[in-house]
Amino acid sequence: MFRISSLFLFLIFSASSATAQQLFKKPADMQDYLYKKECSGGMRVQTNGIALYLEYGWIKDIKRTRLMQVEYFYHINYMQKRQKAQRQSGRDFAYGLQNRFHAIRFSYGFKRTIADKANRNGVKLSVSFFGGFSLGLVKPYYLNLLQPTTDGNIQIKPERYSTDNASRFLALDSIVEAAPIRYGLNQIEPVPGVHLKSSLDFDWGSKDAFVKALEAGIMLDLYYKRIPVMINKSNRFYQIGLYMAFHFGKRW
């Protein structure tokens, strides 16, 4: 995964290398642009989750735009095993999951056009770079487990993972179903961090007043400690993900 991500990042930087030396000065061929601002939103599908975001931009000229972005990210391990509940109408559960992980990201960056589209049709190609603050949110994952009582009976009790209940939390015959989502809401732990991302943006909108774009990129999240998502697996303090995003909006 790391090699694929490194290659993808290299391709993005290679695509923009021809213009990298001109990012901080205005070339003679740049023109004032009819539009000064833009606002768009969309959904991002990553190799490690999904995200919804809103983006606001200040258009400097026909090739440069400064951007601010806020997004909600939900971490998904696509290799995670889903198991059927013991109850016929019960909630299926994720085996080996210790915590759900969410993040709110605040980003600032810029977008640079490297290939403009034709007057009527075509695709405008841009490269973008972002950096910013991430607020990770670790929510305990609860399962309804079978638990023996002191009088010899069996009860069903919602529990989060701990070293004391590890043998039952990982035993399929002890797991009845996933507990309701409300369990763990009062135990959410914030984990601050930072992130960087870079992408290629393909805008195919037939009119400049509207934003219709496909974005492909790579993202790196760094947190101050390891994020305990799975049990008995190597959890990391960083996450690398390739992504594809679709966003739509308006310029004025």
Mean of pLDDT values over 81-94: 90
According to the CATH classification, is domain 2-79+102-138+188-251 in 3.90.10.10?
Answer: no
Most confident listed range (19-28, 68-77, 204-213): 68-77
**Interval 14-30 mean pLDDT:** 46
127-175 pLDDT, tens digit each: 999 999 999 999 999 999 998 887 778 899 999 999 999 999 999 999 9
Residues of the chain with pLDDT > 70: what percent?
85
Residue 93 in tokens: 């559960």
Mean pLDDT of 224-245: 92
What is the pLDDT at residue 208?
81
Label residue 117 exposed, middle or buried (CB < 10 Å: 0-12, 13-18, 19+): middle
Per-residue pLDDT at 129: 97
How far is Cα of residue 154 from the mean position of the Cα atoms in its chain? 41
pLDDT surpassing 50 at residue 19: no
Taking 90 as the threshold, does the pLDDT of residue 241 lie above it? yes
Q: State the DSSP string of 19-67.
A: TGGGTTS--TT----S--EEEEEEEEEETTEEEEEEEEEEE-SSSEEEE
d(CA 178, CA 160): 11
Residue 188 is predicted with a pLDDT of 98
pLDDT of residue 21: 43
pLDDT digits (tens, 9 = 90+) for 94-135: 999 999 999 999 999 999 999 887 665 678 899 999 999 999
Report residue 87's pLDDT band, with 50, 70 and 90 as the boundaries: confident
Quote the mean pLDDT of the chain. 87
What integer is the mean pLDDT of 4-20?
51
Q: Residue 134: which region, alpha, beta or left (left: phi > 0; alpha: psi -120 to 50)?
A: beta
Distance between CA atoms of 172 and 7, rounded to whole angstroms? 40
**Sequence ranges of the domains in the chain:** 2-79+102-138+188-251
Is 60 exceeded by the pLDDT of residue 25? Answer: no
d(CA 119, CA 137): 46
pTM of the model: 0.83
pLDDT of residue 14: 53
Nearest to 114 by CA among 49, 219, 230, 22: 22
